[in-house]
Chains A and B, each alone.
Chain A
Amino acid sequence: MMESTLAIAVSGLSKNYGDLEALSEVSFSVRRGEIFAYLGPNGAGKTTTIRILSGLLKRDAGEVSICGEDVASDPVFVKARIGVVPDESNLYPELTCHRNLEYMGELYGLPRARRGFRAGELLSFFDLTERAKTPFGALSKGLKRRLTIAAALVHDPEVVFLDEPTSGLDVPSARALRQLIGTINHQGATVFLTTHNLQEAEALSQRVLILIKGRVAALGTPGEIRQRVQHLKLLSITFSAEIEAAPLLRACPAVLRASLQNGTWRLEVAEAQAALEQLVAFAGGEGVRIAEINTITASLEDAFMSFLKESGEKAEALP
């Protein structure tokens, strides 16, 4: 078989659930060794895509090639080369961490001697050695997530699919997991990542695809995607006291959108000078000071919100 430079090649992928169009003519490719982020609001079709690529769901139309082979025509070949971390941590609750990994090794055909070694190696890598004899069901959510990722790596897959890997985790666990994803990629695996966390996608991935209502809204490096929304006028502003979004938007018609991050408001404005004047007036009226105000360049999140707005999808769809 010819060694392809592409880990994943998808062309014209479509899937319907009855009348609902889950995916429509989706095309993209992922290079070997790349971290590829697949972004979209709830119901955009991210999990449907992963289920099709990993052989769990049949497609209605299009072509899908993983490591040079179509998963529909040779599922065993493809499944031996991919590792999948579903959005739910779904290992065997009654088995210990070590036995879970060993069993995964058996299912992937690892020789007996290699299985035990690999299980120990992964437990150490994921800092779970002390939990080797703990049943999976007794682990915390964060540790379950780690072991589920470890289980997907048992057979050294060429491509790893991570469906919302940090969803529901506390900040330290999510940060530790992001570092692990980077390490997995440095060790040679191609990573296909779906996430709601746009900062996570921007920090980890080389390229990003934004999927909205089952269609590709944007595809490129985070920089290329940000570039597409450079026309946006953005301000960041910090007030001396807490304020609400609704009165701010009412008092400042030049402010089109406002989101709060770590005490600082990110504002998309129609016209900077008018917005500035309205914000100063608003602060005076509310009896608060403007501690800091800056013009900023568009982030991936701004781009994402802009694409959502263009598609008519409500921003509330985002968690």
Chain B
Amino acid sequence: MSQLRRALAISFKDIESYYGKPPLITWGLMFPAVLILSLYVKDPATYLAIAPGIIAMTLLFGNTSMAAIVITFEKRAGTFQRLLLAPLAMRTIILGKAASASVYGLATALALWLGLKLILGMPLVSPLLFLAGLTLGAGCFSLLGLVAAVMVREVFEAMTLMNFFRFPILFISGVFMPLAQLPSWLKPVALVSPLTYVVELLHLGVTGRSEFATPIVPLLAIFLFLIASWLMAELLFRRRAYA
């Protein structure tokens, strides 16, 4: 319990120091909002086919980047050492850092949806699935950002490392093209991308439609990705956080 309270303290401090800053909030909102509005202007009838994917893409880029930037910035400034010197279990540090990045992703995605609802009347047929997709996706992507950050020293190295997987999965995860339209040889690859399941859960939440027969599949898959990301983060933090 005491360690959980300390993880919360880390999260609150990070939100206060980094995530609550107006430039970050506007970046997280403006970029996807402009993209979705452009699609709406082009064709109001079809923008919903892509909008959930764009929200998921924003979550992927926003959370991985922010989690990685905060850690590499603190490592450079020497302030990350304060956490390593404090009586904190490694999982407390991971939880604190990942939770703050997740809250940022979740808050900006919800604010984005609310704005689109007010301006375009964007629907939300299953709020629970939408929220589950955002929450599990934000957690998974934040942890992947931490994994990248702990493996390198500089912010640009973290970005380069993450771009090796972020850009490729963008094209195979159903963001711009439904899974059904992917070449058959690419479909199995799409199934090992966590973004695929976040996109599908957001589609289910917004339109009620999905490539999967049941929401259990994407829910379970992204949950397993979350667990795997946590284990990977814990392993790498134990090995490399002190480097």
Contacts and interface: CB of A to CB of B under 8 A. Distances in A.
Contacts of B163: none
A107 B2 CA distance: 10
Contacts of A126: none
A54 B85 contact: yes
Interface stretch (A84-92, A280-288, A292-300): A84-92
Contacts of A151: 82
A76 B83 CA distance: 12
Contacts of A76: 87-89
A90 B17 contact: no
A68 B85 CA distance: 18
B117 interface: no
A293 B242 CA distance: 53
Contacts of A57: 242
Nearest to A95: B17
Nearest to A161: B85
A107 B88 contact: yes
Interface of A is mostly: loop
Interface string A86-106: 101011111100000001101
Contacts of A103: 9, 13
Given A56-B242, A80-B87, A103-B9, A109 B81 contact: no
B13 A88 contact: no
A86 B87 contact: no
Contacts of B84: 55-56
Interface of B is mostly: helix
A109 B2 contact: yes
Interface string A53-82: 011111000000000000000011101100
B38 interface: no
A106 B9 contact: yes
Contacts of B88: 76, 79, 107
Given A107-B6, A109-B6, A90 B81 contact: yes
Contacts of B89: 76
B86 A88 contact: no
B89 to A, nearest CB: 6
B5 A79 contact: no
Interface in B63-111: 77-79, 81-89
A88 B81 CA distance: 11
A90 B77 contact: yes
Interface of A: 54-58, 75-77, 79-80, 84, 86, 88, 90-95, 103-104, 106-109, 151
Interface of B: 2, 5-6, 9-10, 13, 16-17, 77-79, 81-89, 242
10 contacts: A56-B81, A56-B85, A79-B85, A80-B87, A86-B81, A90-B78, A93-B79, A103-B13, A108-B87, A109-B87
